Amino acid sequence: MLQLRDLSKCYGGVPVFSQVDLQVAAGEFVAILGESGVGKSTLLNCIAGLDSVNSGRVLVHGTNVTVLPETQQALFRRAHLGFVFQAFHVLPLLSVAHNVGLPLLLQGRPDDARVQSVLAAVGLEGLGARLPETLSGGQLQRVAIARALVHRPQLILADEPTGNLDPSTAERVMDLLCAQVRREGAACVLVTHSRAAAARADRVLTLTATGMSEGPVDAQPDKAQDRTRNPSAAPA
């Protein structure tokens, strides 16, 4: 489903990461850990074609995303990828239901029943008519996840999906991602600082400046545990 071959990225001549190789099969859930600033979010953006690479290839379902023109990359993302952004990126003037249904609308196949089904699956049944400003941080993250899953993508990219959530809500979010991978046969790549989230994956990898290695780093802080001591964590 997903293959990264000798992927490298620099900003202003400064290497972010290099020589990254990765294979993720359909129905497989892979978690990537790494120190802050090592380029985990950048890696997801490169996989999705939202950022360019300096060398290497990104193959999604056999298509080399790195060589597609920008318009074709956008169409490919629309059809095959679901992206859970750390910062939610919901549209404030659209209702919850319209935010979630946007991928289907852009594909020319609106499906209100599917939108309502996914909202129920993330625990937001009955909230479809509300605007994002009326929701809590945990609810907004679930809107973002519902939007990423509504069109049944072949590849799910999740950027710290539990990073702004309390531990209980974080666990529900991980339950949903795992269920989507198992039920739909999707491939999922999760980047996180949380060992608890990473433990739900089939494989755990660590991104460094010089490539990808198997297993977690030795001393990776678990933000979910930190949030139990931090009352500012977003509620459900």
Q: Summarize pLDDT for 145-177 with one digit per residue, the tens.
A: 899 999 999 999 999 888 777 787 788 788 888
pTM: 0.84
Task: Work out the mean pLDDT of the chain and round it to a whole number.
Answer: 86
* Position 1 pLDDT exceeds 60: yes
SS (HEC) of the chain:
CEEEEEEEEEECCEEEEEEEEEEECCCCEEEEECCCCCCHHHHHHHHHCCCCCCEEEEEECCEEHHHCCHHHHHHHHHHHEEEECCCCCCCCCCCHHHHHHHHHHHCCCCCHHHHHHHHHHCCCCCCCCCCHHHCCHHHHHHHHHHHHHCCCCCEEEEECCCCCECHHHHHHHHHHHHHHHHHHCCEEEEECCCHHHHCCCCEEEEEECCEEEECCCCCCCCHHHHHCCCCCCECC
The string of pLDDT tens digits covering residues 71-109 is 999 999 998 999 998 888 899 999 999 999 999 999 999
